[in-house]
Structure 1
Amino acid sequence: MQRSLIVFRKFVCYHCQPRRQFQFESNATPLCVHKNVKKALNENRPVLALESTIITHGMPYPENLKCGIDIFATGGVGGVHRKGEDTMDVSADLRQLGQTPVTVVSAGVKSILDIPRTLEYLETEGVTVATFGPTTDFPAFFTKTSGCQSPTNVKSVEEAVNLVQTHKNLKMESGVLIAVPIPDEEASVGEKINKAVEKAIMECRQHNIEGNAVTPFILDQVNKLTEGASLAANIVLIQNNVNIGAQIAKGLKNKPSAKRNQQTSNHTKAKRPVVIGGCNVDIVSKCTHEIMNGGPSNPAVVTQSFGGVGRNITETLWRLQSNPLMITAVGKDSYGEMMTKHLENMTKSICSTLQNHRTGVYNAIFNKHGEVHVAVEDSAVHRKIDKDFLQNYENDIKSAGMVCVDANIAESGIEYVSSICKRHAVPLLFEPTGELIAAKGYKAAQKHFNSITYITPNISELNQIYFAETGKDAPSHEGIEGLIKMCHTLLDSVLCILVTMGGNGVLCAQNKNGNKLFHHYTLNKQPKWAWLDQPTGNVSGAGDGFAAGFMHGLLRGCTTDQSVRIGLTVAQRNLRSESAVAEAVTPNDVEISKTCWDVKELTF
């Protein structure tokens, strides 16, 4: 494992000189991450953090430099202090564990604390507690048993990895505490240390020592009373925690399902797709009665979720386990904080927070039949994703297995991405996003002729693109024949056009070595899947789901025909979800889709 240090919770000098102070300017970052840690994280290698109070308070210099060796863990977590029922003195560790999905490996809780009440508090906060070993005896730092029991135990590193992974899969918002008893060779001094602890507590009260000065004082006194035996046991204890914590970290990284967004197919190691586009907070109002205009408040069901074309495509690819990278931007506001955290929990993302800008918001009102009555959006922040912004990520773009760009971003950004993709022969899918911006985005991309490999317009977007390209009115009134006419013209500069037609399916138009082929995938004869009988929930993510499913198929080596079918299945999944992207989307949709959905070959 890479030698590394991440500074966590407390600020610690990397060289660990005693009493060195840090001076921070008002605009300085509050978190310092060592370059080795950044490198390990970028390479998806296991990293274990040391809670730095061990260095600053728990041990004297220079012994505090030796405890973690190369990989770090913690000694004992904080807890409810004795007489905490009167003083309300409860360590912030417990509350933080209750709201942070992190795994902490420690030697349980120090005996100077109220261990029964600490365990009760952890239970209240929903923290998973397990003893590492053959029994459920909960350790008390210097001693193997405290007289209390953990709810469960894990007998090996493998069992610990399975416990933590299950916790992650359930998307719990609380943490996991793995309580590791002190090694047998130091357990024999436990009774001596405990007596010293009780004496140190009495001295602490006699000297009226309170607050955060208590723990350093007691540990220092215990070290003196035990003539260094407690310090020696402390070091062994920390090293043991580090060893076990490192094995768990390594096991999680090696476990096939350790992180869905870092998985690849068992049979294909596809390159990572890159999605460049917008992310919104969607506020959707579904009216329950006929809409009355002009002033009265219409009764509705109002929901808030995450959306945006680029984000929807990214989430769908993530659920299909395509390991996407998203490049986007948000404003410095509460919505931006929500979106950043959401993306971090979902997939690898480059989400820049821009000062003096608002995070994208989409607000739609649906009538009682599920049709959009009116929609508005605040998406100015997306236009900040321009050439200058994207030049920082050229390596990510040119090394991608496929790139998707949506028309929400700046035209200079679209032109720049298309130039990189063309220069490095990276397939580019252009998502027109909306009829008001589809043509501008298309023209920006086509400044580098034949740079668009795939395009996924709906009928309205196709009309606008056709008019911008030819100056002629769209013949869409002629039905599918009119769509074929428009696609026939556009195929001179685009390899494949996928026109989404709502309930009428998809028209796939391809230029194969000068031969222009047209296929209509209909929804008339649907597969016998029970979920297809569910009512429509949200129409906003269906087209994005089709684009993502199509991309996923191509990235996994499927044919264009198979990829269209996969896209149709994913679109139908999203259509029946209350959110833009259905949680029911899984890689299994790939296998069940390859031979489903009717298709007809058409001629021009």
Structure 2
Amino acid sequence: MWSHSRHLFHKRCLVQRPLVRRLTTNNAFFQISDEVRNAVKSDQPVVALESTIYTHGYPFPENVALAEELESVVRDNGCVPATIGIVDGVAKVGMTAGDINILGSSVGDPRTLKLSRRDLSYACGMRLVNKSFHGGTTIASTMILAHMAGIKVFATGGLGGVHRGAENSMDISADLTELGRTPVAVVSSGSKSFLDIPRTLEYLETEGATVATFADGRAGPVEFPAFWSRDSGVKSPLTIYSETEAAAIIYAQSCLGLKSGLLFANPIPETSAIPKSQMDRIIEKAIEEANAAHASGKDNTPFILSKIRELSGGASLPANRALIVSNVKRGSIVARELAQLERSGGISTSSVTLPSAAIPKLPSSTIEPVTQTSRSDHRISPEPKPAPPRDILVAGALAIDYSCDYAPFNIPKDGETDISPHLRTSNPARISQSLGGVAHNIAYAAHLLGSSVRLCSAVGDDLPGRMAEDHLRRENMDCALNVHPGARSAQYMAVNDANKDLYVAMADMAILETGSQSYNEASKEFKEKWLPKLDATRPKWLILDGNWPAPMLHHWLSAGSSKGAKIAFEPVSVAKAVRLITALTKPPAKSASPSNSESPLLPFLPNPSLHLITPNASELHALHSAATSSGLFEDAQWFSVLDSFNLPSVGSQARLGRALGQAAEGLISEGIPQMSIQMLPVCETILTTLGPRGVLLATTIPEGDRRLDDEGFAKYIVGRVQNGHGTGVGGVYMRHFAPSEVLGPEDQVSVNAAGDTFTGAVVAGLVGGKSIEDAIYLGSQAAALTLRHVGGVGDLKTLR
């Protein structure tokens, strides 16, 4: 008896062990892409995506386009996508574009199967006898393969369930049993409403699978969603209010060693939902026809879906697409939050506590319509509507950003020099995608800090352009975009070393340069495309980036000054910084329009064209060199203004040393404070960003400013103007600001948007009434948050 009991005990333990083990190496039937493998190994967030939606849901080539879009959504949210499917009998986790095209183009081929758990060994094993199959993986099989690869979060459309009449047919989806034995978190829009949802939830409870529904902005307990409808009439077992809460549940599940899965139900976006009452009528009719046609088993769901599409007049298709995109975005945020928890040992670094939607519901006027478009999908109306004024207008580049972080197999130790990628060969890297562009980053930073801001830029009539527009809507950004048919949307590729410092970057910003290389061309384009946006915005501050060609930059500066806006300039790069000097000093062609027959812009005090520039040290050198070469520093008016600063010819370094304190020696030897002072007749305030060394402020302050008489500021006043000298300037104020915190390489996730974030935060602070000192501190804090953030500008709302 004892022996028999012991035998049963051991048998029970064997059954309870996980039936899926993680595979760390590829084999003849299973392959993980290098990108996914490296991401899992380095604890970067990864999101699994299924492939049945491509093989049995959408026709070719729409399915391939959808696959590209969903992978882009994952990358936009700082994660690595891992599309999973079977190609020629090999299970692939992290399918290449070629794999997806092969699978997508095989729709309708009898060799292309819909694969659940039971089908995997068949589809893979047949390749050994020269019978190769392709396959789209269902939720069950995707969970299995994701778990084998070490992926913990999976985003999909709708979950299978218990079919109506299952008490007789025993028709129960394998998705449910998989949730009972494979520890992967699934983000879906609940179950399709032609299923028996109450019994589905009962079955999941029996299987031990956690089921929770995102409140999505609603208060209190909510209903489990029914795919096309936000409600099903059945109360959800649990309600959660943020992606952070979902990540915390996954983290706890893993730490407890529980081997069941988790289901996070994400209601379809409200704007795309079909009312439950309407869907109930459609579904009842579809089920009647399925029963009449004896469509059962694996044929039941495709038959009913086809009938629903027909009976809804096609309305179910856009709803399908909206919910899968919403689920993938929400799943990506969950994966990102989970990765942060795992890296911090369970200490949440997120401030997300509000019950907000994954994709916020936006007012119809969020994005100002474009002035021209060749698109027929009407996602952006071609008819411009009046837009309210904004405090800040940011004009410049909007781009899709790719960040490639060099990730050597052997992580460099302190003091080792092999931290840079090697030329003329392939390098291991972690690659992420996000919405960027200097102007976008600046505007988004100011937006997150609560400023009234509008982004003014251009996109192409292409897939990156559509992705950018969609992302801007999700950011709730106010934009005035011009669509250029036939042009490429801007794209930026940054290659960073192992410390995440920029190694080399490539930028395609040609869309801002088309037709604006001469003053004649620029004048016409500016008046037609850009001046109306400036007039409509009536900003207090106009921020320009160096992606504009000099002729167009000239017109922006001239128009902004004439309308009384304060103007800031972000140089972007060493090569583009010099465009500012050309725009300020080169006279327009005499043959241009009468408005362009003027002399060069006179940038000198008391009426400068510029109020703020934010170069780094290299860009400041470039600006100074260009000003020297252009003869700017030989101009009598420039010399008169500089002379009025009353800087001593002897002992100036000692005065600078007192102002700069401990940072003085290095900065003075590099000539940074000296160059800043020489540029002040051109620009009121120069903030030179110095990376981990902080920021150098050089600015003129007006007559009567309290700082001129405050003993606490005396050491920072390096020059005093006698009686204003006709400029209204009382003195030159120089001060070094240490960074709000110094981050080590291990804390820096991305450096690409830190400088842009600083500029946007500083101007947001000034618009909000902060002093220049407080605005710089705000900018430093914001830049630090961005350095810690995966992909683009960090979450700055905590700084409001």
Normalised by the shorter chain, which TM-score bucket?
Answer: 0.5 to 0.7
3-state SS of the aligned residue for 2:235?
A: coil
**Residues 487-502 of structure 1 correspond to what in structure 2 (within 5 A)?**
487-502=676-691
Distance, in Å, in 1 between the alignment partners of 2:687 and 2:620 is 10
Q: Which residue of 1 aligns with 2:402?
A: 282
Query: What SS does the corresponding residue of 2:547 show, helix, strand or coil?
Result: coil
User: Take 1:134 and 1:300, find their aligned partners in 2: how far apart are those partners?
Assistant: 44
Give aligned-pair identity as a percent.
Answer: 20
From 439, 454, 457, the counterpart of 2:612: 454
Structure 2 counterpart of 1:175, which letter?
I
RMSD of the alignment, in Å?
A: 5.6
Residues 38-49 of structure 1 aligned to structure 2 (within 5 Å):
none
Gaps of 5+ in 2: 1-159, 174-186, 202-208, 249-263, 294-303, 314-354, 367-387, 413-417, 517-524, 586-599, 603-607, 634-652, 654-664, 702-727
CA distance in 1, matches of 2:222, 2:497: 57
Distance 2:583 2:679 in 1: 15
After superposition, residues 145-224 of structure 1 pair within 5 angstroms as: 149-151=234-236, 174-175=267-268, 211=307
Amino acid corresponding to residue 688 of structure 2 in structure 1: V
Q: In the TM superposition, what are the counterparts of 1:200-349 in structure 2 within 5 Å?
A: 211=307, 271-280=390-399, 281-288=401-408, 290=418, 291=420, 293=422, 295-346=424-475, 347-349=477-479
Matches within 5 A, 1:67-146: 116=197
Q: 1:426 to 1:293 in 2, by over 3 A?
A: same
Task: Note the C-alpha offset of 1:551.
Answer: 0.6
User: 1:270: Cα distance to partner?
Assistant: 10
The equivalent position to 2:572 in structure 1, one of 433, 439, 449, is 433
* 1:355-374 equivalent positions in 2, closer than 5 A: 355-374=485-504
Determine the structure 2 residue equivalent to 1:392.
Answer: 532
How many Å separate the matches in 2 of 1:129 and 1:516? 57
Q: CA deviation at 1:547?
A: 0.6
CA distance in 1, matches of 2:501, 2:312: 65
Query: CA offset at residue 271 of structure 1?
Result: 4.4
Counterparts of 2:211 and 2:461, CA distance in 1 = 30
After TM superposition, the score normalised by the length of structure 1 is 0.56
Q: How far 1:458 moved relative to its partner? A: 1.5
Residue 545 (structure 1) aligned with residue 750 (structure 2): no
**1:329: how far off?**
1.6
Compute the displacement of 1:429 (Å): 0.7
Shift of the 455–448 alpha-carbon distance from structure 1 to 2, 3 Å rule, reads: same
Q: CA deviation at 1:488?
A: 2.4
How many angstroms apart in 2 are the aligned matches of 1:175 and 1:139?
Answer: 8
Match of 1:598 in 2: none
Following the alignment from structure 1 to structure 2, what is the Cα–Cα distance between the partners of residues 353 and 124? 46
Q: Distance in 1 between matches of 2:700 and 2:756?
A: 23
Distance 2:310 2:449 in 1: 52
1:579 aligns with 2:791: yes
Aligned residues: 422
Deviations 1:403-436 (A, max 9, x none): 1110102333322222222112111111111110
Indicate which of 574, 583, 596 corresponds to 1:444: 583
**Counterpart contact for 1:321–1:587, Cα < 8 Å:** no
1:164-203 CA distances to partner (integer Å, 9 max, x unpaired)? 9999xx9997525799999xxxxxxxxxx99xx99x969x
Distance 1:294-1:328 versus aligned 2 partners, 3 A rule: closer
Describe the SS at the equivalent of 1:562.
helix
Secondary structure, aligned partner of 2:450: coil
Give me the whole-angstrom Cα distance separating, in 2, the residues matched to 1:368 and 1:133. Answer: 45
| AA partner of residue 488 (structure 2) | R
The answer for the alignment partner of 1:413 in structure 2 is 552
One of 703, 715, 729 as aligned partner of 1:514: 729
SS in structure 2 at match of 1:453: strand
Deviation at 1:278, TM superposition (A): 0.8
Structure 1 residues 371 and 276: alpha-carbon distance in aligned structure 2, compared to 1, 3 A threshold? same
Q: Which amino acid aligns with 2:393?
A: V
Distance 2:685 2:225 in 1: 64
Where do 5+ consecutive residues of structure 1 fail to align?
Answer: 1-78, 89-97, 101-108, 155-161, 183-192, 218-251, 263-268, 591-604
Give me the whole-angstrom Cα distance separating, in 2, the residues matched to 1:365 and 1:214.
Answer: 49
Q: Say if 2:685 and 2:699, in contact at 8 Å, map to a contact too.
A: yes
The CA distance in 1 between the partners of 2:309 and 2:362, in whole Å, is: 40
Query: Displacement of 1:530 after TM fit?
Result: 10
Say which SS state the counterpart of residue 439 (structure 1) adopts.
Answer: helix
Decide which of 542, 561, 569 is 1:403's aligned counterpart.
542
3-state SS in 1 of match to 2:534: helix
